[in-house]
A and B are shown apart, each in its own frame.
Chain A
Amino acid sequence: MSMATESSAAPLLEAHGLTVRFGKVTALIGLDLTAPPGQVLAILGPNGAGKTTFVRTVATLVRPTAGRLLVYGRDVVRDPAGVRRDIGLAGQFAAVEPTMTGRENLEMTARLFGHGRTAAKRAAAVVIEQLSLGEVADRRSSTYSGGQRRRLDLGASLVGGPRLLLLDEPTTGLDPVSRREVWDAVRDLAASGTSILLTTHYLDEADELADQVIVIDHGAVVASGTLSRLKASIGQDVIEVAVTEPAMLGAVAQILERVTSNSARLEPGGRHASVPAPGGPAELASVIGSLEDAAIAIDEIGLRRPTLDEVFLTLTDEAKVSPAAAGASINGSER
């Protein structure tokens, strides 16, 4: 029985028709996914898409209303204790005790994972080294910077030697320097072979860290795959124009839309316009010709691959309703 479930060939995650309801609110609706181990998997989605609910279900904090969820082949409902041994959770808030030192926090969590006193000390020392917390390890964590506190929290989820690390919006609310620190730490962990599941609404974060991306919206998977395949599947290249005079942006948009028959995205109040260009270089040439005819001065024009933002907006419903509003909510750092 346990031999079968502990098979190392088991997928990291396997969800079949996973549904979670809180009273009248349905957070996940029949979510299906399979994820291989040994990778950084990013769950992307707008706020309220069900990302956090999914992570909490993997962490056995929320019970599925229907469907199944297996973590390394273990069912979260039938064997929650087994799942807990395999995972380390770092939630949206840094769950460290501010009145305790970094080392004390790590040793406590290691003991709670089941380590004995000596093993706990050792695990804490390894994590302190791994996350470069040596200088501050014996200071109370209330004195830490935001990035140090997040790294300590990350460390606390590691002291039990988990096979899967769950990171729920690991950099929300951090300044750019601290974000970099956390990103570097996550990359190092991934390089050492830990599987990582992270949720984020920062697309650049997924771009930086993830091997595989799953986009969810309204509680269901809308797309999945590697980032490059995802970008390719949305397909076309994008023509991007920077005008010299912001007032000319409207005229540029008209030309872009006429040439490509797609609706253009404008940078509100800025100088940039972009549009998907299925015709590639031919359409680019045509746009340049039209701009010259109209005597519109431009600073820059080019053809490029779509950004993850564009992929994302195409995939989620909000994009269809109002691209500008969706863009704001995805990039916003609301907590």
Chain B
Amino acid sequence: MTAIQAVVTPAISRPARTPGIVPAASQVALRALRKYVRTPGLIVMGVVQSALFLFSFRYVFGGAIHDGSGISYVEFLVPAYVASIVLFTGGGIAVAVAEDKAQGFTDRLLSLPVPRYSLVLGRTLADSTTNVWSILTTAAFGFLFGFRLPGSWLDGLAALGLCVLYAVVFTVVFIVMGLFAPSPQAAQGMSLIVFVFAFLSSGYVPATSMPGWLQPFSKYQPVTPMVDAVRSLLTGSSSDVGLALAWSALLIVVFTPVAVLRYRRA
């Protein structure tokens, strides 16, 4: 016993430098991705949930919804659903951020000499990646349930690119939500608010079918132009794309600094 304790453990040197933004953000991202990939429930439930929602809209509500323009509901629904899937799955991001805060993980990160913005960057990288996964699986289900591209493959790719941009934008929004939530349960509840934006948009029913007092909200909230822009790109048009990009830029510019500042005092 004495002999063992007499052995001097090799001291750990202090790093010469504090970590740069890239290594710090990649470690934060890597950990979030590992958690996601190694928690089977998260992946499976995400896919099942998006498939079930799509199934319900397509086959349950779809029959009763007609937009009058002659295109089938599945053609109308799928682009909108893929564009706004992040609004349905993003609650998980808010919950994960709130859990990190509640369980001391964020404290540990903040006590380390990492650049503060690398926390937001790492989290955004990881959650955007999982969101791209939901976008791709949801799009695949869309095709399975009868959706066909109205235009060329290139148009389809452009639309997909826009959906990925939305994924990044809403990831930051959900991070902020998680940071402000007093508990993980509250984060779950708060993320339901975002459902309102999804449903009160032109995504699921034509805005013109809503009561008159509701139409202004539907028309001027960000999700409507975002969804419309994806539909335009699919048909080779570019209407609403500028507006959608402007909304995306605005949301990023507003929410990123809030996330960085809020992390400091999480």
> Which residues of A are interface residues toward B (Cβ below 8 A)?
56, 59-61, 81, 84-85, 87-89, 91-95, 97, 99-100, 104, 108-109, 111-116, 119, 122-123, 126-127, 129-130, 140, 156-163, 166, 188, 191-192
Contacts and interface: CB of A to CB of B under 8 A. Distances in A.
B12 A114 contact: no
Interface in B44-67: none
Interface residues of B, number: 34
B30 interface: yes
B15 interface: yes
Q: Which A-B residue pairs are the 3 nearest by beta carbons?
A: A114-B15, A93-B104, A89-B111
A126 B104 contact: no
A161 B12 contact: yes
B34 A97 contact: yes
A159 B105 CA distance: 16
Interface stretch (B19-27, B68-76, B154-162): B19-27
Contacts of A188: 5
B117 to A, nearest CB: 13
B113 interface: yes
B107 A84 contact: no
Contacts of A162: 14
Which has the most chain B C-beta neighbours within 10 Å: A59, A94, A112, A156?
A112
Interface in B101-125: 103-105, 107-114
A112 B114 contact: yes
B35 A97 contact: yes
A126 B112 contact: no
Contacts of B16: 114
B13 interface: yes
Contact of A126 (B10, B24, B103, B111): B10
A198 B14 CA distance: 21
Contacts of B112: 84, 109, 112-113, 160
Contacts of A100: 31, 34-35, 38
A87 B14 CA distance: 11
Given A97-B31, A100-B31, A161 B14 contact: yes
A114 B114 CA distance: 8
B24 to A, nearest CB: 6
Nearest to B12: A161
